């Protein structure tokens, strides 16, 4: 099983706008490459990718259409006031995140 772990709305450290641009490019290329992903887990600011205003929603929809489940951290959604703005996937939990990370064949983390 391949687990895509998204802990931020950007990729890398440094300039936030550049990081968001890199994340969008990463997800677009991941979809274009046909890389199989079984589960996408979003934590911390990664939940910004699955909620209202997400600039990468179409890429996540493509991953979902290809069979990936998408889960966003419930604690994170609540802390950021975004639970009611979730547009894709389900609300996940830390115990499930740990279970998936411990049993996944591959963990992708941009």
Domain locations in the chain as residue ranges: 2-108
Listed residue (99, 46, 110, 37) closest to 75, CA to CA: 46
Query: Model's pTM, two decimal places?
Result: 0.93
- Helix, strand, coil percent content, the chain, rounded in steps of 5: 45, 20, 35
Regions of the chain where pLDDT drops below 70: none
The CATH code of the domain at 2-108 is: 3.40.1260.10
**Residue 52: predicted pLDDT:** 97
For position 59, what pLDDT does the model report? 97
Q: Considering only the C-alpha atoms of the chain, give the largest distance between any 2 of them, rounded to a whole number of Å.
A: 34
Per the CB < 8 A criterion, the answer to whether 42 and 88 are in contact is no
Report the pLDDT value the prediction gives residue 45, as an integer from 0 to 100.
97
Pair 101, 4: CB distance under 8 Å: no
Write out pLDDT tens, residues 17-33.
Answer: 999 999 999 999 999 99
């Amino acid at each position: 099983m391949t687990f895509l772990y998204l802990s931020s709305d950007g990729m890398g450290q440094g300039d936030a706008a550049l990081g968001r641009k890199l994340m969008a490019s990463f997800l677009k290329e991941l979809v274009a490459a046909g890389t199989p992903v079984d589960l996408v887990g979003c934590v911390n600011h990664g939940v910004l990718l699955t909620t209202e205003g997400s600039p990468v929603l179409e890429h996540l929809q493509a991953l979902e259409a290809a069979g990936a489940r998408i889960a966003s951290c419930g604690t994170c959604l609540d802390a950021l006031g975004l639970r009611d703005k979730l547009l894709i996937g389900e609300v996940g939990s830390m115990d499930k995140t740990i279970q998936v990370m411990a049993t996944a064949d591959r963990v992708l983390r941009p």
